[in-house]
Amino acid sequence: MSIKAKILAKSLWAFHVSAGSCNNCDIEILDLLTPRFDIERFGVVLVGSVRHADLLLVTGVVTKKIAPRLIKLYEQAPKPCIVIAFGACALGQGIFKGSYNMYLPVDKVIPVDVYVPGCPPKPEAMIQGIMKAMEKVKGKK
């Protein structure tokens, strides 16, 4: 295991990208920061710049307008960057599928490493998804 992988396995910095969600998934991500779920105990910290991020937390549907911006954000993130898609909208456009402004699911725009289904997914499921991302960084799977 490389030195960078060892460091990333202990402390992941996350950048949240709302690709046009209804804010339910966004509220659940904010729940992760509260004392009840306390995602920081696992070493995960939300950062304000994608250039510092190890994780991209993507919520919401990808519209025609947000798709180029999402691609640019992914390109600006340092590699290796783990992408986690949260919610039914990010996975398959949810109830918005077939709408006139929908483009593609997140995994058709940028590569997704971990999927967390639900509308909205529970914080426990989100934590489990982040733990899978940590295992992926460690090289277990």
Secondary structure element (H or E) that encloses residue 33, with its range = none
The CATH label, of 3.40.190.10, 3.40.50.12280, 3.40.50.2000, 3.40.50.11890, for the domain at 3-138 is 3.40.50.12280
Compute the distance between CA of residue 86 and CA of residue 82 in angstroms, rounded to an integer: 13
State pLDDT tens for residues 59-101.
Answer: 988 888 899 999 999 999 998 889 999 988 888 877 777 777 7
Phi, psi (rounded to 5 degrees) for 103: -100, -80
Question: Which residue, among 112, 53, 52, has the nearest Cα to 104 in the 3D structure?
Answer: 112
Pairing of strands 12-18, 44-46: parallel
Phi, psi of 31 (to 5 degrees): -60, -30
- What pLDDT digit, counting tens, does each position of 29-63 carry? 888 888 899 888 888 899 999 999 989 999 988 88
- Which residue has tokens 């209804």? 22
| Number of residues that this document lists for the chain | 141
